[in-house]
Amino acid sequence: MDASSSPLGSADLVEAVRARAGPGRRIVFVSGNFNIIHPGHLRLLQFAADCGDFLVVGVTADSAPAVTVPAAMRLEGVRAIGIVDFAFLLEERPEHFIARIQPAVVVKGKEFENRRNPEREAVEGYGGKLLFGSGEVRFSSLDLLQREMRETNLSAIHKPLDFPRRHGFTFEDLVGVVDRFRELKVVVVGDLIVDEYVNCDPLGMSQEDPTIVVTPLSADRFVGGAGIVAAHARGLGAAVHYVGVTGKDVTADFAEEMLATYRVDSSFVVDESRPTTLKKRYRARGKTLLRVSHLKQHDISHELAEHVAGEVRVRLEGADLLIFSDFNYGCLPQPLVDRVIELCRERDVMMVADSQASSQMADVSRFQGMRLLTPTEHEARLAVRDQTSGLVVLAEALREKAHAEEVFVTLGAEGLLVHAAQVPGGPMITDQLPALNSAPKDQSGAGDSLLTCASMVLAAGADIWCAAYLGCVAAACQVGRVGNLPLTADELVTELRD
């Protein structure tokens, strides 16, 4: 969603709205105090959104009658609503702004229908429409939706004490490691993905065929893929540069804007032969009903791969860690991977990798010489073409094939298998951690948060056992909310000291 909270001049504000709406789109305008967002606001805004193509919301200034919440907080609440395309602080009377922007439709609540409405004269002056409505009555509270999307249920996280005792570290040791994250410089390279969560209200079963019928309530977009890995690293305290491939579309614009908001320094290489990967999840009552992916999976061209390698080469100066975040959509062809590995070896930069294979084929062993690999059991078996061996044999086979130092095999609800040396250069041993969150809301971000946090622990000078534990705490925090939001160092420290 586009939004403005800066004090733009009236002419600039009108131009900003028109530019973002684009030509030929019907602008709909709503204004109000929005002290506390409630279902009535949702119904009104959904009604307004259905009346046109681009929904603009003016949040009244603190000087307006009946305002009880500061403007910044009220504006933030409106901006969190997915159906709102542009929100701003309205510092003049609504009818004055309406006369300049001339929206196709102005919407007010049903309770104003039989009152005097100053907006009517302005709207009728240019041939627009003034409508009154509250929409349908089936909507859930935005507060509940946003709580599910963004708040982590820390009470569901259980930290085992035997693992730290076995490997000789304490929670305060881990807090010290997190504090050292601020000294790191991290480079992330891999597929950019945008995840969209469409929250729906289930209406029941169709009478025509055995189809579940839902109505959308709201939509929230998040940066995913390698983009969220970079955002996690930045949120945890490191200086971060992300290098990735996008299409030339509004999805890429959204990702660029969000990564800038997260203070991630980014280099986007545009491939006009593909869209920016967009994955939509339709959810109802806390469960995902359907996933729809908009993507292409062909390899980027040799010229674009050279461009990516050049961007990585520049950003490796002074770097402590490079993270390969591979989703096998063609953004990391093998010659590019080999070239980046060569650049890192020349500069003695630690490398880690994850190569996901959910609905596509993958071979994580193609990332040779990594300090750490973090595949799922399925991805590890694909890499070594072994569907029968036990987990310890599997992890060692992958480690040998990829010439990796250590391997984590993620096991979903069964936790994490750690295959590493007890001391550097010593014999390999295997240990296991359970899944730390007993009530996960969204498993999709677990691997990214584990990879990011664990690799930063290693780059900060701690051992693989601290990396495994802190990585699992990070994953537990991440799966406790819906959607990819960057982890923060404060979240980890709070959980470690709880």
Residues 203, 210: contact at Cβ < 8 Å?
no
The percentage of residues in the chain with a pLDDT greater than 90, rounded to a whole number, is 66
pLDDT digits (tens, 9 = 90+) for 243-261: 999 999 999 999 999 999 9
Distance CA 440, CA 131 (A): 43
Alpha-carbon Rg for the chain, nearest whole angstrom, is 25
Tell me the pLDDT band of 227, cut-offs 50, 70 and 90: very high
Residue 147 has pLDDT above 50, yes or no: no
- Range 473-497 average pLDDT: 89
What's the pTM?
A: 0.69
Pairing status of strand 406-410 against strand 372-373: parallel
pLDDT at site 205: 80
pLDDT digits (tens, 9 = 90+) for 303-312: 999 999 999 9
pLDDT at site 154: 53
pLDDT at site 498: 79
Distance CA 428, CA 430 (A): 7
Tokens 């007890």 belong to residue: 422
Residue 27: alpha-carbon gap to chain centroid = 28
The percentage of residues in the chain with a pLDDT greater than 70, rounded to a whole number, is 93
- Range 29-56 average pLDDT: 87
Residue 219 has pLDDT above 50, yes or no: yes
pLDDT at site 141: 40
pLDDT at site 440: 82
C-alpha dist (Å) from residue 143 to 149, 194, 210, 490: 10, 23, 32, 24
Distance CA 180, CA 135 (A): 51
Distance CA 262, CA 252 (A): 15
Q: Is 48 helix (H, G, I), strand (E, B) or coil?
A: helix
Task: Give the pair of three-digit tokens for residue 98.
Answer: 């309406």
**140 closest CA partner among 187, 81, 57, 92:** 81
Greater confidence, 205 or 87? 87
pLDDT at site 256: 94
pLDDT at site 400: 96
CB neighbour list of residue 112: distance below 8 Å, 6 or more residues apart: 132
C-alpha dist (Å) from residue 111 to 133, 198, 349: 8, 29, 64
Using CB atoms within 10 A of its CB, is residue 264 exposed (0-12), middle (13-18) or buried (19+)?
buried
Task: Give the pair of three-digit tokens for residue 214.
Answer: 């839902």
Residues 8/9/12/18 CA torsion (nearest 10 deg): 80
Tokens 């709070």 belong to residue: 494
Q: Mutual orientation of helices 171-180 and 489-497 as an angle, nearest 10°? A: 170
pLDDT at site 139: 37
Residue 423 has pLDDT above 80, yes or no: no
Task: Give the pair of three-digit tokens for residue 335.
Answer: 């010659």
Tell me the pLDDT band of 356, cut-offs 50, 70 and 90: confident
pLDDT at site 3: 47
Biggest CA pair distance of the chain: 82
Distance CA 236, CA 186 (A): 11
Greater confidence, 278 or 424? 278
- Range 21-45 average pLDDT: 87
Catalogue all structural domains in the chain, each as residue range(s) with its CATH number.
Answer: 10-139 (3.40.50.620), 150-497 (3.40.1190.20)
Residue 138 has pLDDT above 70, yes or no: no
pLDDT at site 38: 73
Tell me the pLDDT band of 344, cut-offs 50, 70 and 90: very high
Amino acid at 330: G
pLDDT digits (tens, 9 = 90+) for 282-302: 988 878 888 898 889 899 999
- Range 408-435 average pLDDT: 89
- Range 483-497 average pLDDT: 90
pLDDT digits (tens, 9 = 90+) for 358-389: 656 789 999 999 999 999 999 999 999 999 88
Residues 177, 456: contact at Cβ < 8 Å?
no
C-alpha dist (Å) from residue 223 to 86, 241, 289, 364: 19, 15, 21, 23
Amino acid at 99: A
Strongest mean pLDDT among 29-38, 300-309, 483-492: 300-309
pLDDT at site 90: 93
Tokens 């309205």 belong to residue: 90
pLDDT at site 295: 87
Pairing status of strand 212-225 against strand 372-373: unpaired
Residue 111 has pLDDT above 80, yes or no: no
Distance CA 312, CA 308 (A): 6
